[in-house]
């Protein structure tokens, strides 16, 4: 992350990250669509529908634009094979969406939004790096709209946590902790240039 901020990250690690993140975002889009279906009221459904759109269009456009710079097509991005780390994170999210309740689903999706909002904000404070692509990445996540999304998701989690019984809150904690662990592992896998699953 610091390497994105100061422009020193070796580009092969960033490429690895972008290609794996594209696969991750496809499943994250599915997670949000399932969240939309499960949301308890129309206002929350609307937010989930908007968010699904934001991922499948805005955020994935960022990835598609990087790939285009590298001469990689959209079809090639989609055909990439997932690493064990990408697969484990996506499987955990979709398993939570399939088997858990709505509050667990929200707790599982929060680290992704909160983490990137924090990283984007911190890296933006230091000013843009000389590397154009990394500057574009930072600008996407430092955007006030992304920051507002993360706040909304935190507040929703707090409301659901306050309404849950102790066992439900414990399940939310567990989902949040597992998702946070997967976020860290995702960064680490790109750093290690982890090979796709067999
Ligand atoms: C591994 C991984 N974790 C988090 C994000 C960031 N992110 C994914 S969806 C979303 C919400 C709105 O688009 C945000 C901020 C990412 N790209 N990849």
ipTM: 0.94
Asked if the structure places residue 114 within a domain, the reply is yes
Of 115, 122, 88, 106, residue with least CA distance to 194: 88
Asked if the structure places residue 101 within a domain, the reply is yes
CATH classification at residue 47: 1.20.910.10
Asked if the structure places residue 197 within a domain, the reply is no
The domain in which residue 20 lies consists of 2-191
Residue 143 pLDDT exceeds 80? yes
pLDDT score at 197: 87
| pLDDT tens, position by position, 94-141 | 999 999 999 999 999 999 999 999 999 999 998 888 888 999 999 989
Give the tokens for residue 120.
């984007």
pLDDT score at 138: 94
Residue 146 pLDDT exceeds 90? no
pTM (whole model) above 0.90: yes
pLDDT score at 1: 76
Asked if the structure places residue 196 within a domain, the reply is no
Asked if the structure places residue 198 within a domain, the reply is no
Asked if the structure places residue 149 within a domain, the reply is yes
* Domain count of the fold of the chain: 1
Beta strands in the chain (DSSP E): none
- The one-character DSSP state at 82 is P
C-alpha 188/C-alpha 17 separation (Å) is 10
Q: What percent of the chain has pLDDT over 90?
A: 86
- Cα of 111 vs centre of ligand 1, distance in Å, is 9
Asked if the structure places residue 69 within a domain, the reply is yes
Asked if the structure places residue 25 within a domain, the reply is yes
Binding-site residues, ligand 1, Cβ < 6 A: 21, 24-25, 28, 51, 54-55, 59, 112-113, 116, 146, 149, 183, 186
């Amino acid at each position: 992350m610091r390497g994105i901020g100061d422009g020193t990250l070796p580009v092969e690690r960033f490429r690895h990250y972008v290609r794996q993140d594209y696969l991750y975002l496809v499943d994250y889009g599915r997670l949000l669509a399932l969240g939309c279906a499960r949301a308890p009221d129309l206002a929350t459904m609307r937010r989930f529908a908007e968010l699904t759109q934001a991922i499948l269009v805005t955020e994935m456009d960022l990835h598609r634009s990087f790939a285009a710079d590298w001469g990689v097509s959209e079809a090639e991005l989609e055909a990439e094979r997932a690493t064990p780390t990408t697969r484990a994170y996506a499987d955990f999210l979709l398993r939570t969406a399939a088997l858990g309740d709505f509050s667990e689903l929200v707790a599982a999706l929060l680290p992704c939004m909160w983490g990137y909002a924090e990283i984007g904000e911190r890296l933006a404070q230091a000013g843009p790096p000389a590397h154009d692509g990394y500057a574009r990445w930072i600008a996407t996540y430092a955007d006030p709209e992304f920051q507002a999304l993360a706040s909304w998701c935190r507040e929703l989690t707090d409301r659901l946590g306050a309404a849950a019984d102790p066992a439900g809150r414990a399940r939310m904690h567990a989902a949040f902790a597992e998702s946070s662990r997967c976020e860290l592992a995702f960064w680490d896998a790109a750093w290690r240039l982890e090979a796709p699953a067999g």
